[in-house]
Amino acid sequence: MAAVRSFDWIVVTSARTVPPFIEALEGAGTTTAAVRKYGVRICAVGPRTGEALSAAGLETDLVPERFNAPGVVDSLLRCGDPRGLRILFPRAEGGRDIIPRLLTQAGANVEVASAYRTDAIPGAGIQLLKQVMAGQIDALTFTAGSAARVFADAWARGRPSQVEAEGLRTEDLPQDVKVIALGPATAAALEAGGIPVHRTAYPHTLEALVASLQDCCSVSDT
């Protein structure tokens, strides 16, 4: 990662990015106070990420109206001419390239830095699938595309599998099991794997996810 002082913006799209990013800063001999002194501006994808940054000593300069990748890009483009801007984008290893791709197309110079990696627990997807098909789950909530893909992969591998060998079928989720996604990218990952999505939270926050879950379940109970 190049020296932080050389960047115009740091874009953070997950609260999970904050601790390893701060650790990397400190490991490079840079403090959060120094980041502000250098004049580097901070963009957070949403209020929860902004709170995590603030708690770590980095106040945000920009939170988009839409808490997703297109919203981040639109907000940055409205701040001025992006051509020549240097933008640091710490994110999960293997994360989506929407933000760096669109900003690069607009003329910005984007450096992507892997801040953390998400690893699936072996067998967790199949275990969850077995619980769903056994009627032990009323609702499924997904907050990231990685989690959605783990379950979708288990869904795909469940035909035929040890699940059907135990008398459970996986052609369809039970109709009374509701699936709620935090945002459109997570919903798309589920639907691409054949998993129906009943609600997508809006705005894309945990509070809205809980509200969507409550609404979805209350509708199903009437």
Per-residue pLDDT tens listing for the chain (222 residues): 458 889 999 999 999 999 999 999 988 888 899 998 899 999 999 999 999 999 999 999 999 999 999 999 999 999 999 999 999 999 988 888 999 999 999 999 999 999 888 777 788 888 888 888 888 999 999 988 888 888 888 887 765 444 444 444 445 678 789 999 998 889 998 988 888 999 999 988 888 999 999 998 875 554
pLDDT of residue 220: 52
Q: If you classify domain 4-116 with CATH, what class do you get?
A: alpha beta
- DSSP structural state of residue 138: S
pTM here is 0.74
What is the DSSP secondary structure assignment for residue 144, as one 8-state letter?
S
Neighbours of 175 (CB within 10 A): 8
- Judged on CB neighbours under 10 Å (0-12, 13-18, 19+), 146 is middle
**pLDDT score for 42:** 97
Q: Where are the domains of the chain?
A: 4-116, 124-221
70: enclosing H helix or E strand: helix 69-78
Range 124-221 classified under CATH 3.40.50.10090 = yes
d(CA 75, CA 78): 5
Give yes or no on whether 4-116 and 124-221 have one common fold. Answer: yes
Length of the chain: 222
